[in-house]
Structure 1
């Protein structure tokens, strides 16, 4: 029984860091994509507001 528990904790220790790494690998490109799209829309908004104000 105790060996089973040790195996389980070892597995959880192995899974958690790789899980965190995979989350980071997924989140970082998504974050950049969101930021770039926000910058694009913000830029278009500025251009449109300037052309409309004239």
Structure 2
């Protein structure tokens, strides 16, 4: 590979906008995952509290 080929490959990589789309999807996926985890943790706490209320009512 000569210097011109390397330079052309580097410029093609820099000007390629498809990579940005992949990064955007990765960030969006991470945020959605974080929201789902937070929702399940909140729901888990509510379920635990309700089960404890039922146990107390039975006793």
Query: Map of 1:5-44 to 2, 5 A cutoff?
Result: 6-7=16-17, 9-44=18-53
Structure 2 runs not aligned, ≥5 long: 1-11
* Cα deviations by residue, 1:10-54 (Å, 9 ceiling, x for unpaired): 23212111011101221111111000000000000011011xxxx
Q: Which runs of 5+ in 1 are unaligned?
A: none
User: TM-score, with normalisation over the residues of structure 1?
Assistant: 0.69
Q: How many residues are matched?
A: 45
Instruction: Please tell me the root mean square deviation across aligned C-alpha atoms, in Å.
Output: 1.6
Structure number with greater Rg is 2
Higher normalized helix content (fraction of residues): 1
1:47 corresponding residue in structure 2: 56
TM-score by length of 2: 0.64
